[in-house]
Structure 1
């Protein structure tokens, strides 16, 4: 746990963090497998990247199959957190659910993002997206819990999430996870149709670890202590 306030030691993230560890040992929750995105996931990912109701809340354009495959290929090359601005993505895999692209290990029903926002201050940002067909079943909370475990295991002191004010399900998820609503930025971005507002949620490692109990629903990620 990082202790930066009241004379505590400076924060230190376990960097660089490479996704190779999760290629070998994916994070397994009660129902899901979280592992690096692969090129063969592209059809599953396109199934939600093409939906207006999903893209409406994200800084993404609607993508046809070709564009989605190119975007997926790009994300497969983002493999490490080392410098501010670096980001990595994890596929949310539902074992036993047939994937659109085949492969037999399950379907990619969404993905998670972890971004290094400040190595000096041990700060990261998190994000998630889930196919609408699989919402309302607790998968998002299960996956996001594992993501926060991963972030704190890497030594993150502060974890933040930016959410569109119209995205009520994602705001509710932040609140269920224990993130506090810290600010609302009015008209901070334009999506091509109009100005949008963004809500900032965040919590510290100590706050997150206080919510976790022995026998939680995720296995410890590589590098966690």
Structure 2
């Protein structure tokens, strides 16, 4: 499987992380408002260095469990606004998962949607995935609205299925199939 980076949109560049992205990644991963609905808590500088090393590695996306995380850069200013991730859930069944995290100061401007569309395109058109899902905490209403705008449909609502950061939480699962992607675009 192969894919092409960087990806340019009207306003954004999606590219591999580089060493100089450390401060931006630290800002993102050490903000409790950002990590509230993520599977990890606020990260230390050392944990962020490890995370950055993983993001800089070449990922062929040909093995279950691999993840391609790219930095989302505002073309006009060169500022790091967030990141989008495509996980390879299952090579055999050509299934992936979409994730995204953005700096709070850039919420509400459409950057997450613009970047996520490109990762859906990469997954379906370049990697040949059959199905891409997104899983999230049901309280994350901003992400729910984003996934709906992207055209993913809600397939599941698991009630209090995870003990998440000290409390039981509901999980939603959204999905899109390759043929739905082609009908959408």
TM-score (norm 1): 0.77
- How many residue pairs get aligned? The number is 184
Number of the residue aligned with 2:105: 133
1:112 aligns with 2:84: yes
> CA offset at residue 64 of structure 1?
3.0
Structure 1 runs of 4+ aligned residues shifted over 4 Å read: none
> CA offset at residue 133 of structure 1?
0.3
Of residues 208, 211, 225, the one that matches 2:181 is 208
> CA offset at residue 36 of structure 1?
1.3
Of Structure 1 and Structure 2, which has the larger fraction of its residues in strand?
2
Alpha-carbon contact 2:59-2:66 (below 8 Å) kept: no
1:190-205 superposed matches below 5 A: 190-205=163-178
* Structure-2 separation of matches of 1:55 and 1:147: 21
* Structure-2 separation of matches of 1:190 and 1:200: 17
Of Structure 1 and Structure 2, which has the larger fraction of its residues in helix?
2
Number of the residue aligned with 2:144: 171
Number of the residue aligned with 2:11: 31
Alpha-carbon contact 1:93-1:108 (below 8 Å) kept: yes
1:29-68 superposed matches below 5 A: 29-68=9-48
> CA offset at residue 84 of structure 1?
1.1
Of residues 40, 44, 57, the one that matches 1:77 is 57
1:160 aligns with 2:140: no
1:147 aligns with 2:119: yes
> CA offset at residue 78 of structure 1?
5.3
- Any idea what SS the aligned residue of 2:37 has? coil
Of residues 175, 183, 194, the one that matches 2:156 is 183
- Any idea what SS the aligned residue of 1:155 has? coil
Tell me the C-alpha RMSD between the 2 structures: 1.5
Structure 1: which 5+ residue stretches go unaligned?
A: 1-14, 98-105, 213-225
Alpha-carbon contact 2:72-2:82 (below 8 Å) kept: yes
* Structure-2 separation of matches of 1:111 and 1:86: 16
* Structure-2 separation of matches of 1:182 and 1:110: 27
Structure 2: which 5+ residue stretches go unaligned?
A: none
Alpha-carbon contact 1:80-1:87 (below 8 Å) kept: no
> CA offset at residue 66 of structure 1?
3.2
